[in-house]
Amino acid sequence: MICVKVTDLIDVLKMKKLIGNLDPELNIGKISQDSRDIQSGDLFICIDGTQVDGHNYVETAVANGAGVIVAHKDIQKAAANVPVVYVPDTGKAMSLLANHFYGYPSESMKVIGVTGTNGKTTVTYLVEAILKAMDKKTGLMGTIEMHIGDEVHKTKNTTPDSITMQKALHLMTERETEYFTLELSSIALEMGRAWGLDLDVAVMTNLTHEHMEFHHTMAAYAEAKKLLFSQLGNGRKNGRTKAAILNADDETIHSYRIATAAEVISYSVKDETADFFATDITYSRTQTRFNLVVNGERYPVVTNLVGLYNVSNTLAALAAVYALGIPLEDATKAVTSLAGVIGRLEIVPGANDIGVYVDFAHSPDAMEKVLGVVREFTQGRVISVFGGAGEREHEKRPIMARIGTELSDYVILTTDDTGKEPQEQIIAMMLAGIEKDNYEYIENRKEAIQHAIAIAEPGDTVILLGRGHEADYNDRGTMIRLLDSEVAAEAIELRNEQKV
């Protein structure tokens, strides 16, 4: 159990005003931004959130036994006799305190941070698989889950707040983790959730239309992602130089290059002058092969991930491990150890005459890319099933509906997580983007999936888009379990029974 002297902890903060007296004998056993989590002697830090203001929960924290409170608004009345440390910015203070409290865990690991609109999960899974195949001790954190070696932990956010992050990293140091790879969402970067994370390598996959409800403009979105590269810093880490891995096929690379002091390693599937270049690319339904060219040397690569965008993802992962000193002869051989990523062009087995896939594409670019890949290996029709998620990003609904109907032979429009937004409103926005008549609308997602699989003919591909690995489904405000792959597996069974 961690115990840090309150005076040592508070010492980390340079600009502060203490009201009351700190007990020099007090050892802090936990720091938390949630009053409901506070126990006797803990440090409570008030965060002004998106829903409520943590400064309004000081009384609960005090009632639960808070030993010290960190705030940036006047809470003197509510704090009763508990000492309060006032700071200019509790968000920044939280990351500094968390890092100190947990013993600066990222300093003792090799840390690879991955950002970009699409491909973050895939790249982190590739990095983890390559390193694991080489018997390295790994940790991973992202949208699907957190891994420490073979241990699996649930995650709430793609990138968690600084306390959750540092706590997880501390656990990883206890398990002697050598390499840690994580996804960094633009939202997290802008909210400062990664402050204090000492990175070795930062990777940028691509930048396309996403998260406009949060960033509002593409320029602001690009700036948020760029923060990762300024957070790489100017110096070395434990005697190692740092590296920025940038996708030369995405024009945002140019502005990211100047945002970082670290050495840049570029990768490309088009430009042979890039540092990591993929050539001689061939696809099958289940594998992709290519030659990696680095400094004139060629390395054959076989991956179980399909599609050109996964060649890009593989290049990013190879460049990241190379930057940490892993020989390319070994890394390229280890790529095939990743069987696939749940919910990313995941094959639903059992249907022998048709292909059924689940994919997490929920941005226009991802949808375009994945439908392009599926088309390449489909002899018959491409039938896609998708909806538009509620309460999020209205602008992308008509765009995705248009891309979906243009690039599929037939579409079954349905619901995604509606949340509390009326489905009628969501579907109306989607319909506004459609120019073809190759679709029907089945509101119930389960029925839509069943129908798609029932009408598919031999040689067709059915692709279920938007939800990937997600099982928690928000149906008009009620949470239910709905995992596309499970629903599809049942529908395939029914189809097979009806065929005999």
Ligand X SMILES: CC(=O)N[C@H]1[C@@H](OP(=O)(O)OP(=O)(O)OC[C@H]2O[C@@H](n3ccc(=O)[nH]c3=O)[C@H](O)[C@@H]2O)O[C@H](CO)[C@@H](O)[C@@H]1O[C@H](C)C(=O)N[C@@H](C)C(=O)N[C@H](CCC(=O)O)C(=O)O
Residue of the chain from 115, 158, 363, 415 that contacts ligand X (CB under 6 A): 158
User: CB atoms < 10 A from the CB of 474, how many?
Assistant: 20
From CA 418, how far away is CA 389, in angstroms rounded?
6
92 is in an annotated binding site: no
Give the pairing of strands 263-268 and 243-247: parallel
240 is in an annotated binding site: no
122 is in an annotated binding site: yes
- Residue 206 · residue 118 · CB < 8 Å: yes
Does 154 bind ligand X (CB under 6 A)? Our answer is no
155 is in an annotated binding site: no
Tell me how many residues contact ligand X (CB under 6 A).
20
Q: What does the per-residue mask of binding to ligand X show for 218-237, with x meaning CB under 6 A?
A: --------------------
Q: Token pair for residue 214?
A: 């949060």
Question: Of 28-57, which residues contact ligand X (CB under 6 A)?
Answer: 33-36, 47, 49-52, 54, 57
- Residue 349 · residue 442 · CB < 8 Å: no
Rg, the chain, Cα only: 24
Nearest distance, CB of residue 50 and ligand X, angstroms:
4
The position carrying tokens 């004139």 is 296
- Detail the DSSP E strand segments found in 207-347: 243-247, 263-268, 276-283, 288-294, 297-303, 346-347
208 is in an annotated binding site: no
Q: CB-wise, 152 or 432, nearer to ligand X?
A: 152
Q: Which does 474 bind (CB under 5 to 8 A by kind): ligand X, ligand ATP, none?
A: none
344 is in an annotated binding site: no
Pseudo-torsion of CA 138, 139, 143, 145, nearest 10°?
100
Q: CA angle, corner 492, sides to 491 and 493, nearest 5?
A: 90
In this structure, is the dihedral angle defined by the CA atoms of residues 244, 362, 400 and 339, taken in order, positive or negative? Answer: positive
Give the distance from CA 440 to its chain's centroid.
Answer: 32
Q: CB-wise, 34 or 490, nearer to ligand X?
A: 34
Q: CB-wise, 122 or 418, nearer to ligand ATP?
A: 122
Q: Which does 369 bind (CB under 5 to 8 A by kind): ligand X, ligand ATP, none?
A: ligand ATP
Does 21 bind ligand X (CB under 6 A)? Our answer is no
User: CB atoms < 10 A from the CB of 164, how many?
Assistant: 18
Q: CB-wise, 121 or 177, nearer to ligand X?
A: 121
157 is in an annotated binding site: yes
User: CB atoms < 10 A from the CB of 25, how many?
Assistant: 8
Q: Which does 222 bind (CB under 5 to 8 A by kind): ligand ATP, ligand X, none?
A: none
Q: Which does 72 bind (CB under 5 to 8 A by kind): ligand X, ligand ATP, none?
A: none
Nearest distance, CB of residue 483 and ligand ATP, angstroms:
15
Q: Token pair for residue 208?
A: 């396309």
Q: CB-wise, 143 or 408, nearer to ligand ATP?
A: 143
Nearest to ligand X by Cβ — which residue? 49
Q: Which does 230 bind (CB under 5 to 8 A by kind): ligand ATP, ligand X, none?
A: none
3-state class (DSSP) for residue 235: coil
Nearest distance, CB of residue 244 and ligand ATP, angstroms:
17
From CA 173, how far away is CA 383, in angstroms rounded?
47
Nearest distance, CB of residue 248 and ligand ATP, angstroms:
13
Q: Which does 313 bind (CB under 5 to 8 A by kind): ligand ATP, ligand X, none?
A: ligand ATP
Give the interface segment with ligand X, choosing from 75-83, 171-179, 181-189, 436-444 (CB under 6 A). Answer: 181-189
CA distances to 144, 278, 317, 412, 424 from 328, rounded to whole Å, are 28, 14, 11, 44, 52
From CA 331, how far away is CA 325, in angstroms rounded?
10
Q: In three state form, how does the secondary structure of 451-470 look?
A: HHHHHCCCCCEEEEECCCCC
Q: Token pair for residue 211?
A: 């998260």
Q: Which does 198 bind (CB under 5 to 8 A by kind): ligand X, ligand ATP, none?
A: none
Q: Token pair for residue 187?
A: 């939202």
The H or E element spanning position 369 is helix 364-376
Catalog residues that contact ligand ATP under the rule CB under 6 A. 116, 118-122, 143, 158, 183, 205-206, 309, 312-313, 344, 359-361, 365-366, 369-370, 468
117 is in an annotated binding site: yes
Does 115 bind ligand X (CB under 6 A)? Our answer is no
116 is in an annotated binding site: yes
Nearest distance, CB of residue 361 and ligand ATP, angstroms:
3
**Residues placed in the known binding site for ATP:** 116-122
Residues at the interface with ligand X (CB under 6 A): 33-36, 47, 49-52, 54, 57, 156-161, 185, 187-188
Q: Which residues carry a binding-site annotation?
A: 35, 116-122, 157-159, 185, 193
